[in-house]
Chain A
Amino acid sequence: MKFFNKTLPRRTLLRGIGASLALPLLDSMVPALSAASAQVAQPSKRLGVVYVPNGMAMKAWTPATDGAGFELTRILKPMADYQDRMLVLTGLNGTNSNAGVHASASTRFLTGTIPARTESDLQAAVSVDQLVAKQLGRQTQLGSLELALDQSDVFGSCDIGFSCQYTSTISWRDAYTPLPMETNPRAVFERLFGDTGTTNPAVRLKRIRKDQSLLDAVSERVSELNRQVGAGDRAKLDQYLDAVRDVERRIKMAEAQSNRELPLVDQPAGVPDTYEEHAKLMFDMQVLAYQTDLTRVITFMMGRELTGRTYAEIGVPDSHHPTSHHRDDPALYEKVTKINEFHTSLFAYYLDKLDATSDGNGSLLDHMLMLYGAGMSDSNRHDNTGLPLVLLGGGSGSVKGGRHLRYEEGTPISNLHLTMLDKMGFPVEKIGSSTNALNLLSDV
């Protein structure tokens, strides 16, 4: 009797999900920094991006004077405490587009390019945060985190002819892969801290120990089975053992680092009722993520581009997008300004927290490069020129703030991306449509 010998199928590969985001990990996956302990001698740089939709009321945004000592405008005033660490950038352009102006706004913010026109096949370019994440992410549990406040629940096309995916994200892993943004704080917490539901170290340690014993028992049983089968069948079980050992190793590392001090936070139930609560909760999560060094790159959309959200709580019960078409009507302009101001005041809450969190020889904010802004300037005309952009934080000493910088007409936003890469320590020659690094920043 002859069987034709089949070698093990080529499909005996390890297969994970291959999702673009890091996936929920076991509890308290505090980072696998190589020799690092809670004390960080050289605190690493962090990158943060906060995006606001539907352009900006530019008259209340752009400071009247240039250079140092510029006067804070109404929308910038909530960030007054950080004026000395802030660079207001005026005059940078995104690529113009005649169709899909909103899809273009969100897409160009970090990629410097506009989307291909389709409802199904998506195409843009890799975004600068992901380029940074590819490098920094090697040292952290999560490569990067993408968060937002608005669900993408409008199916089909949002900007006519352009898929909704364009307006609900600003991060692109590559030209064809937009990254989904998580909106539920509960899910974010779980991704960061596993499912014990709390940052309480005692609780988490208990869970770590239990999982360890679970896996020990599993390994034992698997080894037992391994002894009972023939050589050819062992491959599957070896795969299992390898997987279990890998997880055990990470658990051990997590246990070793579980004495890291964290604020006591319980897992949120879900999405809070009000916008302000939701925003603040998400900002809290981001601070935690940086603090525990679970990631060093976070992008956050405070609203979906083209959002119709209303802000009754600040006296603007009108929908954002139609109101942003102010037609220079003073009443409507006032309303849009109020919305923009509301966003920056919430952003200031975030800055306060970052500044108050110590990080080695400084605060988190000192070691961060933070970009805040929108993908279009005047919303009424869907203007792609002179985008409202602010660069904040110390960048670990690489950014000298306190100035309003004005660039010559036609400077592409890709130049900013180039400079950001440089400041983060990963200089490249060219990115997107960049022509040069931004001049006035590099004399630091």
Chain B
Amino acid sequence: MKKKLLLAVCMAAPSLLLAAESVHQSVSASNRALLDQYCVICHNQAVVNSLATSNEGLQTTQLRNLGLTLDTEDVSDLAANPEVWEKVIKKLRVGVMPPPNYPRPDKVRYDGFRTWLEDELDSIAANRANPGRTQAFHRLNQTEYRNSIRDLLDLNIDVSDLIPADAPDQYGFDNNAEVLALSPLSVERYVNAAHKIAELAIGAPPRGASITTYDVPLNLIQDDRLSEDLPFGSRGGTAIEHLFPVDGEYRITLNLQTNYVDFVRGFDDANEVELSLDGEHLQTYAFGGDAPGIPAPYSYAGNIRGSDDWEEFMMAFADEGFELVLPVKAGPRVIGATFPREMWEAEGVQQPRLFGYQLAVTELPDGNPGIGSVEIEGPLSIDGSGITPSRQQIFSCEPISADEEPACARQILSSLARRAYRRAVTENDVQGLMEFYKQGQLEGGFETGIQFALERLLVSPDFLFRIEQDPRNAEPDSMYPVTDTELASRLSFFLWSSLPDDELLDLVERSELRDPGVLETQVKRMMSDSRSSGFIENFVGQWLYLRNLDGIYPDPAAFPEFDENLREAFQRETELFIDDQIRSDRSLRELLSADYTYVNERLAEHYGIPKIYGNRYRKVMLEGAERGGLFGHGSLMMVTSYPNRTSPVLRGKFVLENLLGGPPPEPPPNVPALETSNDGKQLTMREAMAMHRENPACRVCHAAMDPIGFSLENYDAVGKWRTQFAGQAIDASGLLPDGNTFDGPDGLRGLLLERPDDFVGTITEKLMRFALGRSLEYYDMPEVRGIVRAAREDDYRWSSVILGVIKSAPFQMRGTEL
């Protein structure tokens, strides 16, 4: 057969088209044969069209629900249904199809087919580009709102109480325009928020005093210097930034940590606690010391009492905190409360480390006192609006006489509107704001006028929504480059999750944003700017599930050593690591292969890294294969576990979804809970999940997820390295459906690093989704592959990938309506 074809080609040499056509035919035939041999057995029309019966196998139901009919799809004309072929590519990328125990083509043919599919789809896309269409009105989410307020008004405010939280879309990102709806409740909240923010920003005198309480979590261990804002030689306590609305008198109250019956902790010995404001010492309070009478035994406090005088002494400060009334200047200030470190070691038998219920009830007589909470009440009296960063930002001019007021108001409001609306300001815009200014000015003078106008600005759709509009005479079913204004917003919300700054707006006004080299320069500037922390918080926080870290409470009985210090360290480690990677413009491969991380003493202790002292985070080089790269991060291991045990399935799913781009489908309904013990004997995870391997319907997906998860079993549910579980040595070997074997996190790393295109491609997909604020469709995939190809030339550096996304068609252009 082959010989014949060759002959035909040779004889028809001049007719290249004919030759190409027959090559095309033979490739198609070969691919058709491949599909028929390995895929159509299951994915065919007969199965999909069959009627459901009550006793059919789970696999049949799954196949029908999937609806994939590879016998009817035409592999010689991918353009007829590119969506389906992109889906196929996803499965081939992670090698889960054909499922285990089914015949599979050899690696060369397998990879070859996939590559062919990708190349074909890419060339089809090259002929008919489709940048997709973002929504015309894209509401700012909570984070973007907060950052915008911060950058617009130089006001740091926690908006989570003010406006509702946003639910993430099915990919885990909360900046998808499709899910950012607007309900009557939200509108009310935005109006209320506008009142509060305007009042704070202007420094308008509040109606009355209010009390803000800052609680210190009970299981934050206060053994060391806890913050850079607290002095050297201090121990424990807390440093909080509080926004004092106006110059005036405030009362600061310290409450020491007590147990649940209000006994102050660590009261046995004399102690001191210090209060400071912006690093300056305010007052020292002494407490504790020789308690009279007979103490209660060192145990469950309260039920077995000490003598009356001892009991009363222990509760002497139970209801009275330490307080200070003092004048404070308006603005964000740091209140510090901490204890001087003692330089002696406690004697005798110490209480074991307490956790959970014990921690709540016992009074730790031989332990250290701690800060329970800090209350700030005020203003008790008002001296004036003071000089705050937000006032300085807003009042770019100050009218000396009443005549000057309107002009100054215009100047202020135009400037604010330009930044808030992220575009050149029209006379209409200013007029609208000036009307509110006039109302306010009548009521309370110049500053009240500005306050009213600011409220109007903050509820304006031009502020709350990112607006993209088709050009006036756009043809339906076409595409156009987004305006420079729209591009500037896309850039700043991608890289900063916030408003474009003056430099970007200036470039837009001079029509220079799209000049050669300008984009690259700007991207570089923006990534080095401190505001790029918004990118890490928002993109990385959601991509790596870091946002979930705060909501997980590991079972204290299973993990008694877990405390808030560790939770905080997990978060910082990952943030600092990624930040360093991006700023140093490393290759994305180092996310997995890095040989360093950031630890402080607490984290180093957890990881078994010796000789690290103090609370500050520092870069350490790592030895051995246990840590290094994202898999070694406690944060990732914790967010992919349950409170009392690891979950190989969650970990496998994470890798498939966020690193390999082949997310598994939803599990079937009515899956029973996992039995983790059998007749009292605890099972290893592998044993417990035997059903995943035995039932063919389960095996389809779990054959890929479980081995990945098992390879990470050395990390327990709080990321600690272990070699044993359930009385057996941990077996971290894995076998993937495509035949690849690996062992342990090192093996998994190696496996992923062998296919950097896949792993970088997945991150690029996520980046693109985040940058566009919409779901990615099949027509975006060729773009993604193009970016990865280009990045490959530059060793997959962050800058290449990010610039690749920014320069791509979906980012630069927009499709019109059909």
Contact = CB atoms under 8 A, between A and B. Distances in A.
A213 B514 CA distance: 40
Nearest to A245: B184
Contacts of A267: 207-208
B311 A318 contact: yes
Interface residues of A, number: 75
A218 B459 contact: yes
A336 B359 CA distance: 26
Interface stretch (B212-220, B516-524, B617-625, B731-739): B212-220
A264 interface: no
Contact of A158 (B191, B212, B360, B460): B360
B357 interface: yes
Interface string A179-214: 000000010000000111110000000000011011
A214 B193 CA distance: 13
A395 to B, nearest CB: 34
B218 A155 contact: yes
A229 B816 CA distance: 11
A330 interface: no
A308 B137 CA distance: 53
A232 B460 CA distance: 22
Interface stretch (A15-23, A344-352, A396-404): A15-23
Interface stretch (A80-88, A236-244, A255-263, A287-295): A236-244
Contacts of A23: 185, 189
Contact of B318 (A13, A215, A242, A310): A310
Nearest to B210: A269
B207 A197 contact: yes
A409 interface: no
A26 B461 CA distance: 19
Interface string B242-280: 000000000000000001111000000000000000000
B260 A266 contact: no
Given A195-B192, A213-B439, A214-B459, A221 B432 contact: yes
A271 B208 CA distance: 14
Interface string B431-448: 010011001000000000
B657 interface: no
B478 A1 contact: yes
A222 interface: yes
B187 interface: yes
Nearest to A17: B164
B461 A218 contact: yes
Interface in A1-52: 1-6, 9, 11-17, 23-26
A222 B83 CA distance: 36
Interface stretch (B174-182, B592-600, B788-796): B174-182
Nearest to B79: A2
Interface in A223-261: 225, 228-233, 236-237, 239-240, 242-244, 246-247
A398 B700 CA distance: 65
Interface stretch (A105-113, A319-327, A383-391, A432-440): A319-327
A255 B784 CA distance: 55
Given A1-B477, A3-B130, A244-B187, A11 B136 contact: no
A2 B218 contact: no
A4 B262 CA distance: 66
B675 interface: no
B357 A221 contact: no
B324 to A, nearest CB: 15
A215 B261 contact: no
A223 to B, nearest CB: 10
Contacts of A210: 439, 452, 455
Nearest to A1: B128
A160 B357 contact: yes
B553 A156 contact: yes
B627 interface: no
A269 B181 contact: no
Contacts of B470: 229-230
B813 to A, nearest CB: 13
A317 interface: yes
A236 B184 contact: no
B402 interface: no
A157 interface: yes
A2 B319 CA distance: 73
A310 B262 contact: yes
Interface in B494-508: none
A364 to B, nearest CB: 27
Contact of A194 (B169, B183, B192, B467): B192
Interface in B278-292: none
A3 B460 contact: no
A243 B186 contact: yes
B442 to A, nearest CB: 12
Contacts of B217: 155
A200 to B, nearest CB: 10
Q: Which of B165, B179, B184, B469 has the most CB of A within 10 A?
A: B184
A313 to B, nearest CB: 9
A266 B360 contact: no
Given A155-B219, A160-B357, A240-B182, A325 B303 contact: yes
B815 A25 contact: no
Q: Which of B192, B194, B311 has the most CB of A within 10 A?
A: B192
A236 B135 contact: yes
B292 to A, nearest CB: 14
A251 to B, nearest CB: 10
Given A1-B477, A225-B461, A269 B262 contact: no
B291 to A, nearest CB: 15
Contact of B137 (A17, A198, A236, A321): A236
B208 A14 contact: no
A247 B207 contact: no
A309 interface: yes
Given A269-B209, A308-B302, A233 B135 contact: yes
A429 interface: no
Interface string A52-73: 0000000000000000000000
A164 to B, nearest CB: 9
A236 B466 CA distance: 12
A196 B191 CA distance: 13
B312 interface: yes
Contact of B179 (A11, A120, A233, A242): A11
B191 to A, nearest CB: 6
Contacts of A214: 191, 194, 436, 455-456, 459
B133 to A, nearest CB: 8
Given A2-B128, A269-B210, A222 B461 contact: yes
A197 B208 contact: yes
A267 B210 CA distance: 9
A153 interface: yes
A348 B239 CA distance: 43
A183 to B, nearest CB: 11
B366 to A, nearest CB: 21
10 contacts: A3-B477, A11-B178, A155-B218, A157-B356, A198-B207, A217-B435, A221-B460, A225-B467, A266-B207, A270-B210
Given A243-B187, A269-B211, 17 more contacts: A1-B128, A6-B777, A11-B178, A16-B164, A17-B164, A23-B185, A25-B188, A120-B553, A156-B357, A195-B192, A215-B191, A233-B136, A237-B137, A239-B182, A240-B182, A243-B182, A308-B261
Interface of B: 83, 128, 130, 135-137, 164-165, 167, 169, 178-179, 181-189, 191-192, 194-196, 206-213, 215, 217-219, 259-262, 302-303, 305, 311-312, 315, 318-319, 356-357, 359-360, 375, 377, 432, 435-436, 439, 452, 455-456, 459-462, 467, 469-470, 477-478, 553, 555-556, 643, 777, 779, 815, 817-818
Interface of A: 1-6, 9, 11-17, 23-26, 119-120, 153-158, 160, 186, 194-198, 210-211, 213-215, 217-218, 221-222, 225, 228-233, 236-237, 239-240, 242-244, 246-247, 266-267, 269-271, 273-274, 308-310, 312, 317-319, 321-322, 325
Closest 4 CB pairs of A and B: A270-B211, A308-B261, A233-B136, A319-B261
